[in-house]
């Protein structure tokens, strides 16, 4: 099973540490919800974990190998990374966009092997996009595009999946579907790290929660123990009500500190 070890990782930008001495250990079987306010450093940390950003201090290792030293093709096979707000840059069909997720496994020449076509079809179906398969990806709605991009990240069946706000803009059914699929992958032994703002979904489906604030990792651990009203109040600066964290019917709600 895959393992990521983060030791004293620091990323400095604009004269400050936007990721500040973060220590974290993650392993296969976990669905880790990375939460925290805007600007906390979640996306920056995820790009370090993805091996796309070399930290200014500390080390991040995947299965014992420092991420910047990983063979690029091997890394692309082992982990998928979905950036925040991904865009379709040119008008390929939705089916081809999803098939791009198989690129690291593709033979260098020739058509798409039959087994890969079947995987693309399965990924499209799971994302509820079969009816859109021939549509130019540039014409999808925001939520449909987000589902297509998640399908592209999942189609290669990576051991490690790093997804940055994968549910942003999804309607309730598709957000639930997406989160349930991420949890199912963790239950199969994959390591899934997802930055999320929907804390109810995090409370229901994440096995672990990692909480960032102002570049620092302020808490991490099993969802039921970590996602407490006191912590959410401290980090998000609003009153939080948490019910049943770590169970299938959990809810997290926020109320303003002073009435209107
Ligand atoms: P999050 O994903 O938690 O919202 P980010 O990781 O995207 O946060 O960003 C963390 C902080 O770092 C933000 O305040 C952002 O404005 C800042 N930041 C990111 N890149 C740079 C940069 N190149 N120069 C200055 N500040 C940056
Ligand atoms: Mg972000």
CB 86 within 8 A of CB 149: yes
* Residue 156 CB–ligand 1 contact under 6 Å: no
CB 33 within 8 A of CB 197: no
Backbone angles phi, psi at 249, to 5 degrees: -115, 20
Confidence of residue 107 (pLDDT cuts 50, 70, 90): confident
What is the share, in percent, of the chain residues with pLDDT greater than 70?
Answer: 99
* Residue 15 CB–ligand 1 contact under 6 Å: no
3-state secondary structure of 140: coil
Ranges assigned E (strand) in the chain: 3-13, 16-27, 31-35, 57-62, 65-66, 79-82, 160-164, 191-195, 208-213, 216-222, 239-243, 251-255
Residue in 251, 153, 144 with CA at minimum distance from that of residue 204: 251
Instruction: Give residues with Cβ within 8 angstroms of 115, minimum separation 6.
Output: none
CA of 196 to the centre of ligand 2 (A): 9
Q: State whether the Cα torsion 66-72-74-77 is positive or negative.
A: positive
Pocket perturbation via mutation, ligand 1, pick of 9, 10, 12, 14 by most ligand atoms within 8 A of CB:
14
pLDDT value, residue 110:
82
Confidence of residue 17 (pLDDT cuts 50, 70, 90): very high
Full-model pTM: 0.96
Could you report the per-residue pLDDT of 192-230, keeping only the tens digit for each?
Answer: 999 999 999 999 999 999 999 999 999 999 999 999 999
Pocket perturbation via mutation, ligand 1, pick of 17, 39, 212 by most ligand atoms within 8 A of CB:
39
Confidence of residue 259 (pLDDT cuts 50, 70, 90): low
Domains and CATH numbers, the chain: 3-255 (3.40.50.300)
Could you report the per-residue pLDDT of 147-204, keeping only the tens digit for each?
Answer: 999 999 999 999 999 999 999 999 999 999 999 999 999 999 999 999 999 999 999 9
How far is 121 from 258, CA to CA, in rounded Å? 51
- Read off the tokens for 180: 């349930």
Ligand nearest to the CA of residue 39, numbered in listed order: 1
């Amino acid at each position: 099973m895959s393992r990521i070890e983060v030791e004293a990782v620091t990323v400095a930008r604009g004269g400050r540490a936007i990721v500040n001495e973060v220590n974290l250990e993650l392993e296969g079987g976990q669905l880790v919800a990375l939460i925290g306010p805007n600007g906390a450093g979640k996306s920056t940390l995820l790009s370090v974990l993805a091996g796309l950003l070399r930290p200014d201090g500390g080390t991040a290792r995947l299965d014992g190998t420092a991420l910047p030293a990983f063979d690029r093709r091997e890394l692309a096979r082992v982990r998928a990374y979905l950036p925040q707000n991904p865009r379709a840059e040119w008008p390929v069909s939705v089916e081809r966009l999803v098939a791009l997720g198989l690129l690291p496994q593709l033979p260098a020449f020739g058509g798409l092997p039959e087994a890969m076509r079947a995987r693309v079809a399965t990924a499209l179906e799971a994302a509820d996009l079969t009816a859109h398969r021939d549509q130019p990806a540039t014409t999808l709605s925001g939520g449909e595009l987000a589902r297509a991009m998640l399908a592209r990240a999942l189609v290669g069946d990576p051991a490690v999946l790093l997804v940055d706000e994968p549910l942003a803009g999804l309607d309730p059914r598709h957000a639930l579907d997406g989160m349930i699929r991420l949890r199912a992958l963790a239950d199969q032994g994959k390591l899934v790290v997802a930055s999320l703002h929907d804390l109810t979904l995090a409370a229901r489906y994440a096995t672990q929660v990692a909480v960032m604030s102002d570049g620092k990792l302020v808490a991490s651990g099993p969802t039921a123990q970590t996602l407490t009203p006191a912590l959410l109040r401290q980090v998000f600066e609003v009153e939080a009500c948490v019910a049943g964290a770590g169970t299938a019917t959990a809810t997290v709600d926020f109320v303003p500190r002073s009435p209107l």
